[in-house]
Amino acid sequence: MSRIRERNAVYLAFFMVLALNLFVWQQAMPMRAQWGNVPPVPSSPATAAMFALGDEQFAYRGFSLLIQNLGDAGGNARPLREYDYTRLTGWFWLLDKLDPKANYIPSIAGFYFSANQDIEALDPIIDYLAEVGVRPVKQKWRWLAQAVYLARFVQKDYDKALILAERLAALDYEDMPTWTDQMPAFVRMQQGDKEGAYNIMINVLNSEVRSLQPAEINFMREYICDRILKPEEKLTDPLCTHQP
């Protein structure tokens, strides 16, 4: 008799736990992780490093992964247009102070977060890339070039693109290709300023002709003669009439 009671007690306990489990599951099923947007930025690099036991490189890498995976919570991916880009750029500047030579944050800023369909939200990212891109560190100039691209092709703000392009052309680092000097001419062409574009291309050609590869010279000649000049102007321009 006691065995039957014990068995019944076990069954009763099992079904009670099962019923409780089903009740909790039914209540919790509609719940989803809430998107809290971009988290607040720590007040200083030292504060951020405290989360990594004072290791700034560990903090840089850990928070970089956090920023990269923002918006992917509870099985839901949030569109970039819902991000707080002012706070997001604050994270960029903070992580930049932790490691000013690293290119990871500029790369996700310039190539991932710049995909926001709200083009006005890109202003702080362009400002960030433009600031990082003038540093005398190898290959950093490419982030300024990316800022020119975003202003020119995404925002279609040619005035801003020209300012950034002229800043890029003014840099004098050994690893910079010739097209960085030509960038203001490309932007001026889109503004309709063919005379300004012509003068820039001629100046670049005259000042760098000894260091240019034949393919680069041919490109500049073709750009000037076939894109900038009108057909009647091409017939009288020495650069276009002279056959190398």
Domain co-membership, 151 together with 192:
no
- 37: pLDDT confidence band, cut at 50, 70 and 90? confident
- 74: pLDDT confidence band, cut at 50, 70 and 90? low
Which value, to the nearest 10 degrees, does the dihedral of the CA atoms of residues 20, 21, 24, 26 take? -110
**Which residue, of 170, 189, 211, is where some domain finishes?**
170
Decide if 155 contacts 122 (C-beta within 8 A). yes
Residue 209's domain spans which residues?
A: 177-244
Domain co-membership, 148 together with 187:
no
pTM of the model: 0.83
Other CB atoms within 10 A of residue 176 CB? 16
**Which residue, of 153, 170, 187, is where some domain finishes?**
170
Domain co-membership, 134 together with 196:
no
Query: 86: which DSSP letter?
Result: H
Domain co-membership, 61 together with 141:
yes
Does some domain include residue 77? yes
Does some domain include residue 106? yes
53 has pLDDT over 60:
yes
Averaged pLDDT for residues 43-65: 93
Domain co-membership, 72 together with 155:
yes
Domain co-membership, 51 together with 161:
yes
Beta strands in the chain (DSSP E): 72-73, 76-77
34 has pLDDT over 80:
no
Domain co-membership, 194 together with 118:
no
